[in-house]
Amino acid sequence: MQGTHHSIRRARHAAMLVGLLALAACQRTSDAPTGAPVAGTPLAAPATATDLSPLLDALPTCALDGWYIDQQTGHPVHPWLAANASKPCKEDEENEIATFCVQGQWKGLPVEEVILPTMTFVSFRGAKIGLPLEKARPIVRQRFGQEFPGGAAYEAGREPKLMADPEDAQRSWLLCSTPEPGDDLGSQAGVSYSGMNLPYDHDGCSYRYSPVDFCDAPHRAAIEDALQHQAPNFNQHYLLVQVDDRPEYFQRTLVLVDTRTGRATPLPIDAFTRPAGKGGEANGYGTLETGVDQPQFCLDGALLVYRVFEEGRFCFGFDGERFTGHETQYMQATDS
């Protein structure tokens, strides 16, 4: 029964992929100037770049941090795209996909476009290569030691798939998929930590103005240990990992880890703990309330954010990229 369930998902996944790429090809054919704008007309001129490594070097592992559109600004979150191609050259509102024209080179491959979701649960991110599949394949094999043929790693969102463009024999795609909610292929395959995702204003591995380094050794060790020894404890396939950041003050941070991909997203707080006692200090840890079948988790105690404690019960959800529910100061938009 479980095998049949996964087969149905793979069939639906393949159908969505073919439709998406066919639509992208249709948009290309409609880009020629006419008397009036039509669907698929470019919204901005293509950006130019010689080396696309800052944008694409994470593609072989599909740890594509920042490859989505910020709903508040309307711009891509990835710093390279934000600086060099901040507006899409095509948008497909029906399928919630934005195309960015980049025109550059990466690992010997000519790259013409990248596609990003405009909403967080769209299944595909990746790059369009200006070569037919038979010419792109040997370059990919030489550079990466494999041809990215697809399979379990692709379906689990850990590797891309190299494939022909279904509508243009002179083009190919290197695409990453996002597993559907409830798909446990990734958690069955021994996933390890693949990178830290900070979806709000940040400096490297810290939220802006926060003293917490979420990429430090204690955080990485706690994440790796949880992936190896713990089952998902939130919303089907996520792990909420508590890290003792300042145990002498009973302060912990909280990191959400996707067990399918190994990608970690820290909750934008400095710490959570128990409310202060009579002496003005906490005498124990705060409480995490969560469940594998629950769409929200709650922290009962006190949150430390931007040098200020707030006491109460605070509940959060997660939409695949960002936290929802209670909003901390680090989640608020800042002027850039």
User: What confidence tens digit (pLDDT) does each residue in 154-177 have?
Assistant: 887 788 999 999 889 999 999 998
What's the DSSP call for residue 78? S
Helices and strands per DSSP (H, E), number in the chain:
6, 17
Q: What is the pLDDT of residues 293-302, one digit of tens each?
A: 899 999 999 9
- Per-residue model confidence (pLDDT) at position 23: 53
Locate the DSSP E strands across 72-185.
Answer: 90-92, 97-106, 109-117, 124-129, 161-164, 172-177
pLDDT number for residue 39: 42
Is 40's pLDDT higher than 70?
Answer: no
pLDDT at 119: 64
Specify the pairing of strand 97-106 against strand 308-318.
Answer: unpaired
What's CA 314's distance to the chain center, in Å? 24
Q: Which of 46-55, 64-73, 288-297 is most confident?
A: 288-297
End-to-end CA distance of the chain: 51
* pLDDT of the residue at 302: 95
Q: Distance (Å, rounded) from C-alpha 300 to C-alpha 276?
A: 13
Residue 153 has what pLDDT? 81
The CB-based long-range contact list for 320-325 (8 Å cut-off, 24+ gap) reads 320/120, 320/121, 320/178, 321/68, 321/120, 321/197, 321/199, 321/265, 322/120, 322/199, 322/200, 323/199, 323/256, 323/265, 323/267, 323/268, 325/296
SS3 21: helix
Distance between CA atoms of residues 19 and 106, nearest Å? 26
Q: Name the band, by pLDDT with cuts 50, 70 and 90, for residue 152.
A: confident
Residues 74 and 67: their CA atoms lie apart, in Å, by 13
pLDDT tens sequence across 229-260: 999 999 988 999 999 988 888 999 999 999 98
Residue 263 reports pLDDT greater than 80: yes
Q: Taking all residues of the chain, what is their mean pLDDT, rounded to a whole number?
A: 81
| Best CA proximity match to 70, nearest among 335, 336, 333 | 333
Ranking 48-57, 73-82, 235-244 by mean pLDDT, the lowest is 48-57
Count of C-beta atoms within a 10 Å radius of residue 117: 20
Residue-wise pLDDT tens digits, 211-223: 999 999 999 999 9
At position 79, the amino acid (one-letter code) is P
